[in-house]
Amino acid sequence: MHKLKALALATASASLIAFMPLAAHAEQGDLSSQLSEARQEGSIWTAFALNRHLSPFKIDVDVENGKALLTGSVETAVERELAEQVALGIEGVNTVDNQLQVDPQIEPTASSEPTLAQRFDDATLVATVKSKLLWNSNTEGLDIKVASNNGVVTLSGSAPTPAAKELAGRLAANTNGVRQVQNQLTVSAADTNAAKAQQAATDAGAAISDAWISSKVKSSLLYSRNLDGLNISVTTKAGQVTLGGSVLSEAEKQLAIETTRNIRGVQAVEAAGLSIAD
């Protein structure tokens, strides 16, 4: 619909320029409004395309005066609500007329070629796994290359011990969006470059700020597929990290503590305030 709107606008503008020059300012204002709406529509479509839950469905978007109209079909009510929230998150969109139909029988589009959303997710996974490996005090100095293909993460390079190789695999596997890990790391105790890099990072640990530690602990908890990091608070003072909030089980609490303890610069972890929800 936005294309028809743009075509109609162009045609009308050409006629008005020829016969109604006094209306030029009004038409310029209308053109600005239409361009803004077109940008908002494009932003919503892009957000849908980059969202792996919404990209399989054909959703039409039309924006007028800050109101987005969504039409088409999705598989569940959760996706219908998600589409509305995504549209509301676009700057300039104030309300959403959500006319999406819920059709449990709909068949999401599938393709043998990676979709834009899949490529975006893979790039995000690579960045996330690399970050987790760099933040972890036991893997930060290792020569590890990370690749992802439709959620299958491949680790290549070398590790000084079998334990380091296994830890790198666990860090990758315990990341939201990772479906499978192919751990192709080779074990080489003679990898002096990795050893030197890790030692240098350890020596520099004292210079790591409390703010940096809190940020990386929080991010690591949020990236974990087995934890709800939003419910865990993190504060750091002189390298001692205090965890608060709640988790669902003792196993989750221990995972949160282990994840925190392995972040670079962490000297101690206090988790007495991290309760287990009833």
Whether pLDDT at 186 is above 70: yes
Give me the pLDDT at residue 25, please.
45
Q: Are strands 152-159 and 67-74 parallel, antiparallel or unpaired?
A: unpaired
Considering only CA atoms, which of 32, 45, 90, 33 is closest in space to residue 72? 45
User: Which residues touch 52 (CB under 8 Å, ≥6 apart)?
Assistant: 117, 118, 121
How many angstroms separate the Cα of 88 from the Cα of each of 34, 44, 64, 211? 19, 9, 14, 32
Cα–Cα distance, 212 to 265 (Å, whole number): 9
Cα–Cα distance, 186 to 53 (Å, whole number): 36
Cα–Cα distance, 73 to 207 (Å, whole number): 53
Cα–Cα distance, 173 to 181 (Å, whole number): 6
Domains of the chain and any CATH numbers: 2-102 (3.30.1340.30), 116-204 (3.30.300), 208-276 (3.30.1340.30)
Of 4 and 208, the one with more pLDDT: 208
Lookup result for tokens 């300039």: 92
Range from 46-50, 135-139, 262-266 that averages highest in pLDDT: 262-266
Q: Are 140 and 112 in contact (CB under 8 A)?
A: no
Whether pLDDT at 140 is above 80: no
Q: Which helix (H) or strand (E) holds 192?
A: helix 192-203
Structure confidence at residue 37 as a pLDDT band (50, 70, 90): confident
For the whole model, what pTM was predicted?
0.53
Give me the pLDDT at residue 245, please.
92
Q: For 39-53, what is the mean pLDDT? A: 84
